[in-house]
Amino acid sequence: MGENNRFSSGYTFSEGRTGGDQLVEFTCRPEEVEQVKEFLKIIRTIDIPTTGRVAVGHGGYSQYTRYNITQHKYAAGGQAYIEVLEIKNPPDGRCGIVINEYHNGDSVFTEWHTLEHALEAYEKGWGSWKTDKVFPTLKGFVRRVICNVLTPWFYAIGDEELVGDYTFPRGLQDDVVYRFGRKFVVSDRDGGTPEIKTCMGTCFYTEKGTDGYGREKKYYHRFVYWDDGSFFDAHNYTSNPPYPLEESELWIMEAICQFKKEILTGNK
C-alpha cells in the first residue's frame, strides 16, 4: 500500500500535548495514537508557517515574511537600501542578526554576532555603500552572503522551503542538464580557479531583436542560478561552460577545495 493510500481509510482523530503544554490535534491510525502522544512530549511547540505574519517597512512598500522580524534601522537612496534586521525565531541554527542590502542590482546580506555589532556596523557603513570592504573589518562580523536574484531565507513566506541561505526559488524549473540540486564545476570568465556550485534551477525567456541584416529574430536565453547567488547565462557565455559533477567524480570537489586551501594559506 502506497503512502497516499495509508491515510485514505481507517484513521482516527485525537489530541495530545507538547513538552511546552501546547494542545495539538492530530490524525493517525488508531494503533499509533499513544505513540504520537509520546512523540509530541519531546517537542516544545508546533506552529504552522503563516504568510505575511510580519511586514517589514521599506519606505513606501512592505516586504512580507513568515518570521518574527524587527527592523531596527533602514536607509534608502536611488536604487539602493540597507536595513538592520533581528529575526527572533531563526530556524535550524541560522543567524538571527543580519544587515540586508540592495544596491544597483546586487542583493547581499551579512551576519553579525550581536544586534549591537550590527547597529555599529550600520552607522559606519551605510552612507558609503562600500560595505563589502568595510563590514568584514568590523567587530562582530560573521560572513557575507551574495543573493543577487535569489531571495534570502528570512524573507520566506507561506510554506516555501529553505535551501541553505535562500528560499526555494519560485518561477525556476529544471531542464535536461541543469537540474535542481545537481553539482557543477563552474569556471569564471577569466579562467580562474573553478568552483563547485549547486544548481538552484533554470529560467528560460525569449527576446526580440535583429540579426546582422536588420531582420527580426528571436533570441532564446537560459539562465542557470547557483546556490551562491550567481548565475550562468548560456546565451552570452560560450567558453568553459559548467561541467556536471557525477557521483564518481567527487574527487574533483575534494581536489579543488584542497587546492584553494593551499593557495590561501600560502603553503604552495
More confident residue, 155 or 106: 155
Please report whether residue 178 resides in a domain: no
Claim to verify: residue 162 and residue 97 sit in the same structural domain: yes
Claim to verify: residue 131 and residue 223 sit in the same structural domain: no
Of 67-71, 154-158, 162-166, 230-234, the range with the lowest mean pLDDT is 230-234
Number of domains in the chain: 3
In this predicted structure, what is the pLDDT of residue 3? 47
pLDDT at 10 > cutoff 80: no
pLDDT tens-digit series, residues 223-252:
888 888 788 887 666 567 888 877 666 676
Please report whether residue 200 resides in a domain: yes
In this predicted structure, what is the pLDDT of residue 222? 81
Please report whether residue 173 resides in a domain: no
Please report whether residue 175 resides in a domain: no
Claim to verify: residue 76 and residue 109 sit in the same structural domain: yes
pLDDT category of residue 64 using cuts at 50, 70 and 90? confident
Claim to verify: residue 98 and residue 147 sit in the same structural domain: yes
What distances in angstroms separate CA 144 from CA 82, 133, 135, 153, 198, one per listed residue? 14, 11, 9, 14, 18
Please report whether residue 225 resides in a domain: yes
pLDDT tens-digit series, residues 170-179:
666 667 788 7
Please report whether residue 216 resides in a domain: yes
Claim to verify: residue 20 and residue 85 sit in the same structural domain: no
Domain that holds residue 36: 10-40
Strand 69-76 vs strand 80-87: parallel, antiparallel, or unpaired?
antiparallel
Claim to verify: residue 258 and residue 202 sit in the same structural domain: yes
In this predicted structure, what is the pLDDT of residue 247? 62
Claim to verify: residue 155 and residue 67 sit in the same structural domain: yes
21 membership: H or E segment, kind and range: none
In this predicted structure, what is the pLDDT of residue 135? 95
In this predicted structure, what is the pLDDT of residue 1? 41
Q: State which of 134, 166, 198 marks the end of a domain.
A: 166
Claim to verify: residue 61 and residue 154 sit in the same structural domain: yes
Claim to verify: residue 157 and residue 199 sit in the same structural domain: no
Claim to verify: residue 79 and residue 131 sit in the same structural domain: yes
What distances in angstroms separate CA 156 from CA 67, 93, 119, 146, one per listed residue? 8, 16, 24, 16
| For the ranges 89-93, 140-144, 253-257, the one whose mean pLDDT is highest | 140-144
pLDDT tens-digit series, residues 124-156:
887 777 888 999 999 999 999 988 778 899 998
pLDDT category of residue 2 using cuts at 50, 70 and 90? very low
In this predicted structure, what is the pLDDT of residue 198? 84
Please report whether residue 2 resides in a domain: no
Q: How many percent of the chain have pLDDT more than 90?
A: 24
Strand 12-17 vs strand 97-103: parallel, antiparallel, or unpaired?
unpaired
State the residue for C-alpha cell 528560460: 204
pLDDT tens-digit series, residues 184-203:
888 776 556 678 888 888 87
In this predicted structure, what is the pLDDT of residue 257? 65
pLDDT at 112 > cutoff 80: yes
What one-character-per-residue DSSP string does 135-196 give? GGGSTTEEEEEE-TTSPBGGG--TTPPEETTEEPPTT-B--SSS-TT-EEEE--TT----EE
| For the ranges 1-5, 6-10, 205-209, the one whose mean pLDDT is highest | 205-209
Please report whether residue 203 resides in a domain: yes
